[in-house]
Chains A and B, each alone.
Chain A
Amino acid sequence: MTCSEEDLRKAKRDLIRRLQHAGDQRLDVAANWQKKWSKILPECVDSLFLIEEIARISFLTIEERPPATAPKPAWHNAVFGVGIFGLFIVGSHMIRLHQIFLVVALAAVLVANYLDFWRDAWPRLVVFSLSTSIAVSGLSPWTVQLQGHLGEWGSHTLSFFINPDQSEPFSAFLIVTGLVGAWCSHKFMR
């Protein structure tokens, strides 16, 4: 069995994460990492040893180019993008939260764009934005209570972003769903 580049990337990301907190235990952390992953990926022992060697001597960089042998087809991105956009539109109309969806999505896109654009991770960006929007829109019932403490202008502005008819159980569902989605995008869509 040959060692796949995707498996190696996964292992390397794990090592980079461990080294961030290793301090002066760097060599031990790298050695333990190599032992652990050699058991998981026995076909990659030589490559794992090499990565450990680099970690001992130099710095591992996080940049990773997509494998040249299997470029992601453009239609894949297009279909994915249209699908997410459709979901976004349908979802926002179903729960009548299109205003806050749009505003929060814009803010999330700006933040995520800053973090991910140069790593070509826009699908993660979209999912992260959508999830953040869902989570924040779940705050509506509690945000309504803030209106009383704001001035006329603040109250008016806030009313544009919230849905006063949203029930608390449904809001809790939105918050949990949004947070889980954001976490998943962070964890699995690198």
Chain B
Amino acid sequence: MSLVSLQPIRDHRPDLRDAANRFDDWLDLHAQSGFIDTRKVVRDLSGDLTSSEIIETLNAIRNLEIAKVGYRIVDNSGTFVSPIFPSVDDVPPVAFDAYGDEFSVERKHIVQIYELCK
């Protein structure tokens, strides 16, 4: 059982009820990280939900303050190597990978996440 409830989405956006159920199942498996990694959620749910449903559900999660949007840096191996930044403008131009080597942060290194509110 996920620690986060998506019930507010079902209450406020009945058209997203099915998508919220699917997100709930997904969160059961991934909530321990404390945030929703949009790369993972898109890869995992694209087969079941349309892109519009994914976008609208994540927007609802943000608008209903179930989670807040943030950005993190991943290195070339896909490992998170930074704290959460509140906006993409706050992401620094350089970062250090898991081995301590410096690299330039490009678009492919920036991941949008949804930090689940406690």
Contact = CB atoms under 8 A, between A and B. Distances in A.
Contacts of B50: 61, 63
B51 A45 contact: no
A51 B51 CA distance: 8
B69 A46 contact: yes
User: Which interface class (under 10, 10 to 19, 20 to 34, 35 or more) fits B?
Assistant: 20 to 34
Interface in A49-68: 49-51, 53-54, 57-61, 63-65, 68
From DSSP, what is the main secondary structure of chain A's interface residues? helix
B54 interface: yes
Interface stretch (B26-34, B55-63, B94-102): B55-63
A185 B32 CA distance: 50
A184 interface: no
Given A61-B50, A61-B52, A49 B88 contact: yes
From DSSP, what is the main secondary structure of chain B's interface residues? helix
Interface in B39-67: 39, 42-43, 46, 50-52, 54-56, 58-59, 62-63
A61 B15 contact: no
A27 to B, nearest CB: 8
Among A47, A60, A63: residue with most chain B CB under 10 A: A47
A61 to B, nearest CB: 5
A58 B112 contact: no
A27 B59 CA distance: 23
A2 B46 CA distance: 26
A56 B21 CA distance: 25
B104 interface: no
B59 A59 contact: no
Interface in A62-102: 63-65, 68
A68 B15 contact: yes
A13 to B, nearest CB: 12
The 3 closest A-B pairs by CB, nearest first: A68-B15, A58-B46, A46-B69
